[in-house]
Structure 1
Amino acid sequence: MVGGLLVDHDILRLRPEAQARGLARARAAGHALDSSGQPTVPYFTVDDPAIVEWRALTVSLLDLVAQGVRSALNLSADQLPLAKVLEGGTWKAGRRIAAERRPDTCGPPIAIESDGTVF
């Protein structure tokens, strides 16, 4: 949910052409539609360039997020390792904002077709 948290807070955004492609794919797949008949989130395959970019940017930003949290709490990396930042902060925050923004699904802002072998 960290990547979703970054999208939900407009830190990361899909490129317009990727957004359009993902929404068209969501529509064709019959994903959830809003009241105007538009898909609520774009839908991609796991190997789509938009997903590869999103994941790469998310990973690169995680260290900055962790640094900011540690700084705010005056803790070292040993005292607050990245795993704790993820589990106790970004994951929970991502779930919370997903529930607020997408109460029908509580899902991420970008849907990925996956068999679970890539995460």
Structure 2
Amino acid sequence: MNPTSTDAMKASLGEAGGHLKQAASAAGDAIKNIAAAAGDEAKLGKAQMKAELADGALAGLDAAGHAGAASKEQVDALVDKGRDLVESAADLIRERPLASFGVAFAAGWIIAKLARGGDK
């Protein structure tokens, strides 16, 4: 018996269907492999992110520890400058007591005038 055109078409369609089934299976396998690889990459990225965040936290804590010492240094420097200013003022008063009294009196008088001027 000779195969008819219909039989040939059915055979070709069956072969095409088989190839499509294999292609779908191969695509499914590829997607599974991609998902597994993406999962592995995501795990690696998550681990790297955690490591960087931990390092950042440690650096922040270290900076906070140094902040206290830096603040103390700044306060000490300000206190020293304040002492220097007080000593300079004391030296000036010792050298020129009358002028110092006059300046202090004038400053007090001006402050009193300004304070009374605001009451009106």
Q: TM-score, normalised on structure 2?
A: 0.23
Bigger share in strand: 1
Bigger share in helix: 2
